[in-house]
Structure 1
Amino acid sequence: MHVAKDTNWLQQPEQSQNSESNTKSVDSHTPQDEKPQPEQTIEIPQEDVKVLEDLSTTQFAQDLVKLFNHGNGPSSNDANTATSPVIDDKPKRAQIHQEVRRIFKSRLETTTGHDGVIIANYVSPRKGKKSRGRRGQPGDDEPMGEYLHFTLYKDNRDTMDAASQIARLLRVKPQIIGYAGTKDRRASTTQRCSVRHQRKRALAGLNGKLWGIATGDYEYQEQPIHLGQLLGNEFVITLKNCKMADETAAQSPSERLASMRNNVEPALKHMSSHGWINYFGHQRFGTHDVGTHQVGKLILGDDFEGAVNALLKYDPEIAAKAEAGQVPDEPSKKDDALRHLACMLFQTGKDLNRAVNVIPRRFAAESCILRHLTRMGKNSARDFAGAITHITRGLRSMYLHAYQSHVWNHAASQRYALHGSKVTKGDLVISDGEAQPAAAEQDQDGDEIINPVEDEEDAPLRARPLTEEEAASGKYTIYDIVLPSPGYDVVYPDNEIGQFYQEFMGREENGRLDPHKMRRLRREFSLPGRYRKLMQRFLVEPSVEFKLYEHDTEQMHPTDLDLINGAERNGIERKRKRDQDDGGPAKKIKAGDGEAQAEAKMERANSEQDATSSNGAEAKAETEPSAEPTKIAVVVKFQLASSAYATITLRELMGDRSDEATPTPSDEGVDNS
């Protein structure tokens, strides 16, 4: 369902290798001649110990005190933890977290495991060996604040992977690295992050040690960055080898470029003025044979065995080859083959233990299921409900949200097909005095942050249907209309769209579910639902460039890291030129002289590049006549709210006439970030 006016649509071949994508978020020292002294042991008041005993157990309280005293002692480098028994009461767990922070002055850090246990670790304020150095060059670069904020740049890595790699080298838990939203892997992205109890120097020292990751812009703050503290995202996306739908071979590259400009610029302007349907992006529904929304449907229908079988579905041919040792060398393809093998070994009952050992760790859902179903041999092989609940909360919620998104997309298509941009009786708007639908629970792709059961303190938005008089008054426009994702805490449109929810979800292929009965016996599967704007628009005016090129490996737009490195190279070049103009002696290159090494490296690179360019140009001049590049790249730049999908924006621009509400196999090679 498209909003844009009819036009000669832009076409692009598969995007997997012919696109570039950049995304960014719119948001005293120890004396040097003395050995550092360990902190004195602090006596914990007995009344505080009693508080911890009352909230948990005497053993856990004693373990916390022991962990704290051990951390303050001379052997604080030892990695010890204290673990509570299982605590199902969420408010009690929250109170324990608060009391531990208060009693131990934030020296103990607590996290909640997936099974409801609380794990405490000692957080050292400073490693003594880092404070030793030459006079005037302290190891601690400045007083450390509670949280170090920094800009994270990454290439072709997702946010959680980058955070995990940084945490690994810092020797901390990934959970202490905060960010406002997740950025997709298939892009070059920048975003602000925070990490607790770290020095600038420690983080800067990681640059160059992690492939595709760099950090900078360090600043201490008293508060961390939380998920949802995001207004939106800016995208710079390059579509390569683009063609118009009615393009002919007789047209020259310049003529094709002019035709493309005459069609794309008005289409983009039309989108800017009128907006487009705010669909959930197809990546939300997965790229495997069984979509994530189908797994969610089975879970909501209490068909846990069906959900497990869907998640463990495998290709017999791939599994057979893997069992015979025919495994690809490429890591990602190798992991895929081993996944099929592990699922086959379990589903056929051939070797349950080997299935657990073979499954690659990156397949988190399958790993959790196999470990749970094999923990007691065949006696636990049919505990399907337990296996689903054993999956991490984030993944469970992804399946449920995918089903909600599937229903929402179809409802949005139906709403626009029936009434277009006209406001009608029964349409929903956010109630007067309520805030707009918040981005505080969403990441850059519009995905709700993994939290299927909203915290009780969250104030849910309220919506109401318009009366016939209100709909005709002109007070409300199509940009005010919202639609709910199915849940127990939402209202549905008081018109045929409300009836559509009932009819659509009640179909056999959609699980025979009732939109008015979304509570489940298992609280984590009860969905309150949320409201989402029907229409989406750009935050600022978009821009577009058209470029002729010849080779698909050519980079059309610099990444942020390219710009930084370019500025550094220019600075070195200017300094070298000043030194030459001053007639000063050439600098000797010594180990540790980073600037001199950088200059020398740049000189070699420049001379090699000049020689290569010269030789290449001469060879080309002798063998090839100069020709105009034949391929066209379109570089679009736009800003979207955090609830919007860039893939949907591109589909609207390119005139994709496929059903937006239904995922298709071709979506696997398309990315939005």
Structure 2
Amino acid sequence: MEEDADNRTRFSSLCYINDHVGFRGTIKSSPSDFVVIEINEKGQLVDKAIDEPLHQVNSILPKAQNIAKKPKLDLQSLSFEGGHKQALDTLTRCSESDQSLQHRLENEDTGHDRILKCEEEKSDVFNSLLDEKVNELLAQFACDIKEKLNSKTELTGPSPEFSLGKILDKSQRASLHSAIRQRYPYLITVGKNGEIVVKANLEYKELCHLVSEEEALGFFKYLDAKRENSKFTFKPDTNKDHRKAVHHFLNKKFGNLVETKSFSELNYNAADPSVVITVKFREKAHKHRKRPLLDCEERKALYTAFTLRKENLEMFEAVGCLALKLGVIPSDFSYAGLKDKKAITYQAMVVREVTPERLKNIEKEIEKKRMKVFNIRPVGDPLRLGQLKGNHFDIVIRNLSRQINDSAQLKERILEAIENVKSKGFVNYYGPQRFGKGRKVQTDQIGLALLKSEMVKAVKLFLTPEDSDDPVNRAKRYFLQTEDAKGTHSLMPEFRIRERAVLESLHRFGVTEEGCVQAWFSFPHSMRIFYVHAYSSKIWNEAVSYRLTTYGSRVVEGDLVCLDGDVDEEHFPSSRVHLVTEEEESANIYTINQVVLPVLGYNIQYPKNKVGQWYHEILSRDGLQSCKFRVPALKLNAPGCYRQILKYPHNLSSHLIDGSDANVQTEGSCISGATLSLLISFDLDSSCYATVCLREIMKHDV
């Protein structure tokens, strides 16, 4: 196994739970020596499932244009009496400037159709929730604000406000908030103890300095509608500097909610190329909003599930390659867990907005990248991390030998070790792959920088080169010397998807705190939070080693235990965690199998003994004594969880092969009998690491 010296040093300092002697050997001599097959939530190996018949895409993705629309609200039909006629004129005059926008959006893609449909269905909210007098005053206020925003002069003094009064019903307030912002995109609404206050949207005025009024109105309508999977496209633009300014404004003001991309228009004149800026919501950025869309039916997204087989390929590299071939972005893929690089791995994946037929069309192309996709079928939802029962492992350990200064029979040592771990388990450390292969920088160091909101430092750590002189490290070295993101991007090999995405953002926004925040947003949420989790994982490893060294297998006062006898998942609520009392320690009520330790986060409790003190000392050492485990700038929240300190392999079987058993086949390999080898198979629960289990068996850092 290729393992760097720093990782070996880090893991060699961690203690064991078993006292057998162990043995030495080599794993991952080739990818075929380490086969990982995901076990889904039904307990099935994902490589064994049979392809399901492909369903018609239209059965899960109805065409928006076939959905009947409600008639548009006829402004002239609103009844006003006496002085109310002036308000009608005002409201009609303010609406006229939106007519060309409506005409353009009605002929745009279905995403804009849905926005208009939602707007039309809300148009009577004003009449049902506001009386005529308030409607009249709101229309007048809106027109006055729009005239001020469209004027050349800067707004001075406090921003004018207009109160709609108190509305006690929460759902009615939500409907009115949205209806106002849809009708008047140049206004914003705020809530104050049930009261709705309307004022000028100053960001609208800023955007109008960069794009037309029509585009600004359309963008803010799009932004408020929050239609999942929809897009908004600005008009074609031939000026690169101007496009860069628009990108910068949108990402600075709304980068946490949306992402922007530039695309060349089809059939453009080569002498005068036009490029359009397209805006789409970031994945999950608006799924958990407090004010759901109450009266607009959500369009069902298209998801295609498949099993991915990859060989000797990093997980994120595989996803980047698939995204490139399918014309989507890496965040459109979801998966239940990360898999090893130097291995043959099988795992379930789901991709958004790609049909099963389209995925089948790239099968031959990706074979060259040592990937295969099968079990392709439409599904209704994406996967989430942890949505699996565990993993099955088929592993070959080669070059077996005794530990140094051990004179016992090797076969006896191997049998003893396997039986010990079967019956007593192994320490449930996070494995080396959790922290990357880097000798100089590992993922937990990047996570620590993110938790301290040191964005520039985190990016530079990510782009820190190793000592080797390959193209990737030469490019990284050039960046640290020059901070020339554009030049580094041209040097960075195309297969390094993540590095190129970061460099592209740094070129657009600069190597500043703000620019580095945008660079991190070029990663999907699951990848950003991965670095934070890496830091928490490192601390957990050290904590459990300290706990076992300090107290051994005794359950002592102040320990945390899980009240359920067996815990199959990593994430479970604090209500299932109990603090051991002095009386319970004396009565030996709990066993070491029930002891858990917290994985760092904002919603955990610490042990009330020396281990708890150790946690606080470590956080103080790393400058996190007041850390809330939230990174607002990157939309990262780490609530924390609890993890059992011991785990057990399931269905463990083994077979020794010596020189007389030559040519025994495993997947893609042939074992010759030059030395003694061990074939070992077992299942592990999700979030457990085979390398950690093998380390406990062999008493040797693998």
TM-score by length of 1: 0.60
Match of 1:24 in 2: 37
User: 2:442 matched to 1:296?
Assistant: no
Q: Which residue of 2 aligns with 1:513?
A: 624
Query: What amino acid does structure 1 have at the position aligned with 2:335?
Result: Y
Select which of 254, 258, 265 maps to 2:415: 265
C-alpha change, 1:247 and 1:462, in structure 2 (3 Å) is closer
d(CA) in 1 for partners of 2:543, 2:102? 51
Instruction: State whether residues 596 and 643 of structure 2, in contact with CA within 8 Å, keep that contact through their aligned partners in structure 1.
Output: yes
1:619 corresponds to: none
Deviation readout 1:200-242 (Å, 9 max, x if unpaired): 6665554444222333445555555444320000001112222
* Letter of the 2:336 counterpart: A
User: Which aligned pairs between 1:318-357 and structure 2 lie closer than 5 A?
Assistant: 333-346=470-483, 351=484, 353-357=486-490
Task: Identify unmatched segments of 5+ residues in structure 2.
Answer: 1-13, 41-52, 56-61, 75-97, 115-214, 232-250, 260-278, 282-300
User: Is the contact made by 2:106 and 2:112 (CA closer than 8 Å) also made in structure 1?
Assistant: no
Q: 1:635 to 1:522 in 2, by over 3 A?
A: same
Q: What SS does structure 1 have at the residue aligned with 2:33?
A: strand
The 5-angstrom pairing of residues 426-465 of structure 1 reads 426-430=558-562, 436=567, 438-439=569-570, 463-465=577-579
Asked whether 1:398 is paired with 2:530, we answer yes
The 1:551–1:162 alpha-carbon spacing in structure 2 relative to 1, beyond 3 Å, is farther
- Give the counterpart letter for 1:301 in structure 2: K
- Supply the distance in 1 between the matched residues of 2:111 and 2:506 (Cα, whole angstroms): 40
1:19 and 1:240 in contact (8 A); partners too: no
**Matched ranges for 1:301-316 at <5 A:** 301-314=452-465
Residue by residue over 1:282-321, the C-alpha shift from the partner in whole angstroms, topping out at 9 and shown as x without a partner, is: 2222222022222222332344443344334346x86xxx
Contact in 1 for aligned 2:302/2:355 (Cα 8 Å)? no
Distance 1:483 1:344, change over 3 A: same
| Aligned equivalent of 1:45 | 69
Q: What SS does the corresponding residue of 1:635 show, helix, strand or coil?
A: strand
Match of 1:284 in 2: 434
1:573 matched residue in structure 2? none
Deviation, structure 1 residue 415: 0.6
The answer to whether the 8 Å contact 1:407/1:505 transfers is no
- Return the alpha-carbon distance in structure 1 between the equivalents of residues 457 and 325 of structure 2: 40
Work out which of the residue numbers 691, 694, 697 in structure 2 matches 1:647. Answer: 691
Distance 1:336 1:467 in 2: 54
Contact kept, 8 Å, 1:42 with 1:69, in 2: the verdict is no
Question: Distance between the aligned counterparts of 1:467 and 1:86, measured in 2?
Answer: 57
Shift of 1:557: 1.1
- Asked whether the 8 Å contact 1:355–1:370 carries over to 2, the reply is yes
The residue type paired with residue 20 of structure 1 is D
The Cα shift of 1:147 comes to 5.5
Residues 389 and 685, structure 2, Cα contact 8 Å, conserved in 1: yes
Shift of 1:643: 1.4
Find the partner of 1:375 among 502, 508, 522.
508
3-state DSSP of counterpart to 2:603? coil
In 1, Cα distance between equivalents of 2:548 and 2:492: 44
C-alpha distance in structure 2 between counterparts of 1:375 and 1:515, whole Å: 33
- The percent identity for this pair of structures is 26
> Which of 380, 387, 394 matches 1:236?
394
- 2:245: which partner in 1? none
Cα offset for 1:190? Answer: 2.1
Inter-partner Cα distance in structure 1 for 2:481 and 2:73:
51
1:547 aligned partner: 657
Pairwise mapping of residues 161-240 of structure 1 onto structure 2 (< 5 A)? 161-166=317-322, 168-169=324-325, 177-194=333-350, 203-204=359-360, 206-211=362-367, 212-218=370-376, 221-240=379-398
CA contact (8 A) 1:272 1:541 kept: no
Q: Aligned to 1:68, which of 93, 110, 120?
A: 110
How far apart, CA to CA, are the structure 1 residues paired with 2:660 and 2:482? 48
- Equivalent residue runs for 1:51-90 within 5 Å: 63=105, 66-68=108-110, 85=219
2-structure distance, mates of 1:41, 1:237 = 54
With over 3 angstroms needed to count, the CA separation of the structure-2 counterparts of 1:48 and 1:10, relative to structure 1, is: farther
Q: Deviation digits for residues 362-392 of structure 1, max 9, x if unmatched?
A: 5566545544444366xx6565763665452
1:421: which partner in 2? 553
**Amino acid corresponding to residue 108 of structure 2 in structure 1:** K
Q: Give the letter aligned to residue 341 of structure 1.
A: Y
Tell me, yes or no, if the aligned pair for 2:464 and 2:476 is still in contact at 8 Å: no
Using a 3 Å threshold, how does the CA distance of structure 1 residues 220 and 29 change in structure 2: closer, same or farther? closer
Q: Secondary structure at the match of 1:210?
A: helix
Indicate the larger mover: 290-299 or 641-650: 290-299
Q: Which amino acid aligns with 2:386?
A: G
Q: Distance in 2 between matches of 1:197 and 1:388?
A: 24
Deviation at 1:426, TM superposition (A): 1.0
Equivalent residue runs for 1:442-591 within 5 Å: 463-507=577-621, 511-514=622-625, 517-518=628-629, 522=633, 524=635, 526-538=637-649, 540-548=650-658, 556-558=665-667
Q: How many residues align?
A: 483
Cα pair distance change 1:496/1:467, threshold 3 Å: same
Counterparts in 2 of 1:653 and 1:643: CA distance versus 1, 3 Å? same
- 1:407 Cα shift? 1.2
In 2, Cα distance between equivalents of 1:340 and 1:286: 19
How far does residue 414 in structure 1 lie from its aligned partner after superposition?
A: 0.9
- Aligned residue type for 2:436: G
Q: Could you tell me how far 1:655 is from its partner in structure 2?
A: 0.6
Aligned counterparts of 1:432 and 1:412: Cα–Cα separation in 2: 20
Amino acid of the residue matched to residue 544 of structure 2? A
Over 3 Å counting, the alpha-carbon distance change for 1:531 and 1:459 in structure 2 is closer
Distance 1:404 1:87 in 2: 40
From the superposition, tell whether residues 282 and 166 of structure 1 become closer, same or farther in structure 2 (CA, over 3 Å): closer
Asked if the contact 2:658–2:677 (Cα under 8 Å) also holds between the matched residues in 1, the reply is yes
Counterpart CA distance in 1 for 2:461 and 2:473 is 16
Q: Cα 1:528–1:49, aligned 2, differ >3 Å: closer, same or farther?
A: farther
Letter paired with 1:652? E
Q: CA RMSD in A?
A: 4.8
Distance 2:545 2:431 in 1: 14
Opposite residue 634 of structure 1, the aligned amino acid is L
Give the deviation of 1:22 after TM superposition. Answer: 0.8
- Provide the secondary structure at the position in 2 that maps to 1:631: coil
What TM-score does the superposition give when structure 2 sets the normalisation length?
Answer: 0.58
Q: Which has the higher strand share?
A: 2
1:245 maps to a residue whose letter is Q
Q: Give the C-alpha shift of residue 96 in structure 1.
A: 2.5
Shift of the 470–647 alpha-carbon distance from structure 1 to 2, 3 Å rule, reads: same
Determine helix, strand or coil for the equivalent of 2:651.
Answer: coil
Residue 200 (structure 2) aligns with: none
Partner residue of 2:312 out of 137, 143, 156 = 156
